[in-house]
Amino acid sequence: MGLLSSTKPPTQSEIIEMPSSSSTPAQAELGIRDNDSSVDPKADKSQTEGGSGKVVDAVWGEIDLSDGSGPNYRNLSWVKASVLEVKTQIGLGVLGLPAALNVLGFVPGILCILAIAIIITWSDYVVGTFKMNHPEVYTVADVGYIMFGPWGREILGFAYLLEVVATGGASFLSISVAFNAITDHATCSVVWAIIGAVAVGLLSSIQTLGKISWLGWVGLVSIMSAIITLMIGVGISSKPSLAPEGVRGVDWQITTQAVAHPSFVEAINAVCIIIFAYAGTPNFFNIVGEMRNPEDFTKSVLVGQTAITTIYLVVAAVVYHYVGQYIASPALGSAGVVLKKVCYGLALPGLAVGGTLFMHVAAKYIFVRVLRNSRHLAKNTPTHYVAWYGCVVLVCAVGFIIAEAIPFFNDLLSLIGALLATVICIQMESFMWMWDNIRSPSRGTLSWNLLMGMNILFFILGWFLMIAGTYGSVVTINDNFKSGDVGSAFSCADNS
């Protein structure tokens, strides 16, 4: 079977022939009704019931496309999926990569970016194959239930929810930094964070990823404009914004290193910042779950990850080359006072869209859990609206608290990358492949042995990065609080 999992879902005709009592406990617990079991996971808008304009989905149930009585949760093309995959990653993560190179040095930093790109791209690919084999899956929690039962669903579901909410919350922190930079700290930083939370909450309340996909284009253009301006700015600027006053070469000098010599804590924190930059994997379950043709998911992943990695390598290398040890956190503040305002002004929509995508999928996770197996899930009833908007408000409120409790940009990214992104983006996907392929007919072949060995290696590496990275992040955050050199929790101080 090659790379694809050998555990194939039954064909539509095979499922139709099953008696209603054949529903598995997993299907029942995940909300798959007997009359939903005739779903082909590849069904798109053209595959309707008797020309009635209805699609039956293993997650959403019956979706009526003819009368507009509910949102169409299966309307995402592979191109739009690629854009969403890129935008869920590029944003906050890329702003920390030049600092990671400053810690690790050029060569180790570039190698780490490439290595993590390979691992995460494999994880993203496994998300698609697992979805095709288990069409009832929509979130990480569903995966947890299939592999580990109710406890697995709750534990992985909580880790997933915390990761996406914390990442969305980090966007509130970056938005407050942007407003402070643009307005010269015109008001309290907490106020700017609240404004960011409200803006992200309003955008997140759009019901489907298909309708949100246009925001992905806006966010991508926004953040890329800011990054390109930053790279041009640091190239032509006479002095990085964090460099001391005086004459270059006399009072200060930009230093870059091919190979740096950081402490273990510094190095592992830098690696975890890179992991955070690729931590969009859990959102890919939602994306493939709303695609018209899920079999196109692998194509969207390859396009998206190639674009992401190219951007990351270019931005990290160029900015670090021209700024060196005077890199700001986030990186947009590295090119001088005026360009700092310009870069943040350009990036502001992109930062908001990045937070929107994470808060949307976080709210959608709770929403589906609450209304699954109910007619309210795919119908615009009062219960549907109350549940949906309530979920959006809840996740934005929690994200705001997380962002304000740990108001250090790089440290927050590192902690999320170590504690949450590793288990959700590396260990889980490695185990998913092993789960689907342990009894494969190709077991014992050279390709099977190589892939099994690779997944075991990724699984072990993920646990090491999680434990070591969390330790490094906690030590650094504690040191920052003790030093008093950075703002405190819920501080009004200028964080730009």
| Average pLDDT of the residues in 46-53 | 44
What is the enclosing helix (H) or strand (E) of 57?
Answer: strand 54-57
| Average pLDDT of the residues in 431-435 | 95
Helix, strand, or coil (residue 83): helix
| Average pLDDT of the residues in 225-232 | 91
Most confident option among 369-378, 383-392, 471-480? 383-392
Q: Cα(first)–Cα(last) distance of the chain, in Å?
A: 52
The predicted structure's pLDDT at residue 105: 94
CA 175/CA 194 separation, integer angstroms: 9
Pull the structure tokens for residue 95. 């702003």
The predicted structure's pLDDT at residue 408: 66
Q: Which residues contact 19 (CB under 8 A, 6 or more apart)?
A: none
Residue type, 425: C
Burial 370-382 (b: 16+ CB within 10 A, else e): ebbeeebbbbebe
Q: Model confidence at 55, in pLDDT bands (50, 70, 90)?
A: low
What is the enclosing helix (H) or strand (E) of 286?
Answer: helix 281-289
The residue ranges of DSSP E strands in 157-271, in sequence order, are: none
76-483 CATH choice from 3.30.300.30, 1.20.1080.10, 1.10.4160.10, 3.30.465.10: 1.10.4160.10
| Closest-CA residue to 334 (of 391, 254, 267, 393) | 254
The predicted structure's pLDDT at residue 199: 94
CA 478/CA 462 separation, integer angstroms: 24
Pull the structure tokens for residue 256. 């870059």
The residue ranges of DSSP E strands in 179-269, in sequence order, are: none
| Closest-CA residue to 29 (of 158, 136, 188, 172) | 136
| Average pLDDT of the residues in 125-150 | 91
Phi and psi at residue 2, in whole multiples of 5°?
70, -140
The predicted structure's pLDDT at residue 31: 36
The predicted structure's pLDDT at residue 416: 82
**Domain boundaries of the chain, sorted by first residue:** 76-483
Helix, strand, or coil (residue 182): helix
The angle formed by the CA atoms of residues 419, 458 and 26, to the nearest 5 degrees, is 75
The DSSP annotation for 7-26 comes to -PPPPHHHHHTS-GGG--HH
Q: Say which DSSP state 341 is in.
A: H
CA 226/CA 435 separation, integer angstroms: 42
CA 85/CA 297 separation, integer angstroms: 10
Q: Which residues contact 386 (CB under 8 A, 6 or more apart)?
A: none
Pull the structure tokens for residue 249. 């070469």
The predicted structure's pLDDT at residue 215: 85
Displacement of CA 444 from its chain's centroid (Å): 35
Sort 12 into a burial class: Cβ within 10 Å, 0-12 / 13-18 / 19+: middle
Is residue 466 within 8 Å of 423, Cβ to Cβ? yes
Higher pLDDT, 419 or 93: 419
Most confident option among 53-62, 295-304, 439-448? 295-304
Lowest mean per-residue pLDDT among 91-95, 260-264, 325-329, 338-342: 91-95
Helix, strand, or coil (residue 61): strand
Residues facing 54 on adjacent strands: 64
CA 90/CA 99 separation, integer angstroms: 16
Please, where are the H alpha helices in 3-139? 12-16, 25-29, 78-87, 97-104, 106-133
| Average pLDDT of the residues in 246-258 | 82
Cis-peptide into 294, omega within 30 deg: no
The DSSP annotation for 438-475 comes to TT-TTTTSHHHHHHHHHHHHHHHHHHHHHHHHHHHHHH
The predicted structure's pLDDT at residue 163: 84
Pull the structure tokens for residue 425. 């983006």
